[in-house]
Amino acid sequence: MKKRLNVFCVIVLLVLGYSVIEATYYVSIGMKAGFEKGFGNETSKEEREKMANLHVVQLLPDKFGEVVFLDSIYNEKSGEYIPASYSQMFVSVDAQPGLLSRAVSVILAMADFVAVIWAIVLFIRLIVAINRSAIFNWKNVRRLRRLGILLIISFACTLSMAFLSTYQIEKVFAAPGYSLIMGDMVQITSLVLGLSALIVAEVFAIGLKMKEEHDLTI
Percent of residues, the chain, with pLDDT higher than 70: 78
Average pLDDT, rounded, for the chain: 79
Q: What is the DSSP string of 118-139?
A: HHHHHHHHHHHHHHTT--SSHH
61: in domain: yes
Tell me if 118 is assigned to some domain. yes
Tell me the C-alpha distance between 149 and 115, whole Å. Answer: 9
Question: Which range of residues forms the domain containing residue 75?
Answer: 2-213
Structural domain contains residue 203: yes
Model pLDDT, residue 32: 58
- Structure confidence by residue, pLDDT tens digits, 142-191: 999 999 999 999 899 988 988 888 888 888 888 888 888 877 667 788 88
Question: In this predicted structure, what is the pLDDT of residue 145?
Answer: 93
Residue closest to 37 by CA, chosen among 55, 57, 54: 54
Would you say residue 88 has pLDDT above 90? no
- Dihedral, 165, 166, 169, 170 alpha carbons, nearest 10: -150
Is 218 within a domain? no
In a domain, 42, yes or no: yes
| Cα Dmax for the chain | 83
CA distance 183 to 90: 14
Q: Which of 20-34, 65-79, 148-162, 191-205 has the lowest mean pLDDT?
A: 20-34
Q: Which residues contact 198 (CB under 8 A, 6 or more apart)?
A: 144, 145, 148, 149, 152
Cα 66 to the center of its chain, rounded Å: 31
Residue 199 lies in a domain: yes
Domain count along the chain: 1
Most confident of 3-12, 69-78, 162-171: 69-78
pLDDT band for 105, please (50, 70, 90 cuts): confident
* pLDDT tens column, 48-73: 666 667 777 888 888 776 677 888 89
CB-CB neighbours of 207 under 10 Å? 12
| Amino acid (1-letter code) at residue 89 | M
Of the listed ranges 68-77, 137-146, 209-218, the least confidently predicted one is: 209-218
